[in-house]
Amino acid sequence: MSLLEIRDLKKHFRVGGGLLSTAGTVKAVNGVSFAVGEGETFALVGESGCGKTTIAKMVLMLERPTSGAILFDGEDLASMGSAGVKAYRRQVQTVFQDPYASLNPRLRVRTIIAEPILAHGRPERATLRKRVEEVLDVVGLPKTAADLFPHEFSGGQRQRVAIARALALNPRCIVLDEPISALDVSIRAQILNLLADIQERFRLTYLIIAHDLALVEHFSTRVGVMYLGNMVEAGPTSEVFAHPRHPYTQALLASVPRPDPDHRPPADAIRGEIASAMAPPSGCKFHPRCPHAMPVCNTEFPGWRNLGATHAAACHLLELT
């Protein structure tokens, strides 16, 4: 059974209504479904603003879905009692995109890491101190870091503090929203190896959001590609990366900058302007920018098409074969 299951999830925001602009609705997430098995790493990738963080926030119960359901261990979050919700919050931890905004600047690192532990129990002081130092060690920070404030660290060091905090409660699932984009490549490698190690040791489940596709390929077992509030392709990472079937996935992979000065990513892998989540195109939302668009793409929203046991994509082209 899946540990985490997302069913037809939607989140719409009301925005605007300023002096000169009219109000409207941002359909940030517009009917997304996927499942993450225990011990698996599921990666969400896609254009900036396509709704990845919004999904993460709903999973973390920081935002309430407009509709749809999130199931953990088969149980619907919406129907959990307060004890259930408390247990859930303990088992699902997070590392957010922005290491600056996510750490309270007025608290020492010791307090920041202890906070989630204290929210769920009253350990003895010595135990608490030991646990804080343990997780600092796990993320490669010295014990002395516990007595410093977040502003005394560089961006990368701060993100390690955030990871230490997420580990403090021995969670079952960690939601990682751009967890390492602020880290230098060597610490990235350390952290990724570390996340892989603790995953193996504790059978952790990861939901990771990342823009670095080489990292996603290396690190995740399954991947979901999103475009403007919808999932357009999903499947085992190795298969999706080797044989991308949706034109958006293909463009995304073609655009990856390589650590090679003689490789220039094609500037025109994706044509046209980024679509707006406030006024999404009709039919397939990618059609105005798709090199293979057909008349039907303009009018009809493409349904999911299975391409193998667990690989699927939503594109009218696939109906032609």
Ligand X SMILES: Nc1ncnc2c1ncn2[C@@H]1O[C@H](COP(=O)(O)OP(=O)(O)OP(=O)(O)O)[C@@H](O)[C@H]1O
Per CB under 5 A, residues contacting Mg ion are 53, 155
What is d(CA 234, CA 245) in angstroms, rounded to the nearest whole number?
Answer: 10
Task: Please list, in sequence order, all residues whose beta carbon lies within 8 angstroms of the beta carbon of residue 263, skipping any fewer than 6 positions away.
Answer: 257
In angstroms, what is the minimal distance from the CB of 111 to other proteins?
18
Burial 150-181 (b: 16+ CB within 10 A, else e): beebeebbbbbbbbbbbbbbebbbbbbbbbbb
In angstroms, what is the minimal distance from the CB of 241 to other proteins?
8
Among 33, 97, 111, 170, binds other proteins (CB under 8 A): 97
Dig out the tokens for 148 from the structure.
């410093």
What is d(CA 221, CA 200) in angstroms, rounded to the nearest whole number?
Answer: 13
Q: Does 153 bind ligand X (CB under 6 A)?
A: yes
100 binds, among Mg ion, ligand X, other proteins, none (CB under 5 to 8 A by kind): other proteins
27: nearest Cα among 78, 67, 76: 67
Among 212, 281, 294, 318, binds other proteins (CB under 8 A): 212
Tally of residues, the chain: 321
Q: Does 13 bind other proteins (CB under 8 A)?
A: yes
What is d(CA 51, CA 57) in angstroms, rounded to the nearest whole number?
Answer: 10
310 binds, among ligand X, Mg ion, other proteins, none (CB under 5 to 8 A by kind): none
Q: Does 24 bind ligand X (CB under 6 A)?
A: no
The 3-state DSSP class for residue 227 equals strand
Query: Considering only 44-52, 104-112, 196-204, 242-250, which stretch makes contact with ligand X by CB under 6 A?
Result: 44-52
Count of residues of this chain found to bind ligand X when the rule CB under 6 A is applied: 20
251-290 residues in contact with ligand X (CB under 6 A) are 277
Dig out the tokens for 93 from the structure.
């931890």
124 binds, among other proteins, Mg ion, ligand X, none (CB under 5 to 8 A by kind): none
Q: Does 15 bind ligand X (CB under 6 A)?
A: yes
| Residues lying near ligand X in the complex (CB under 6 A) | 13, 15, 26, 28, 48-54, 97, 151-156, 184, 277
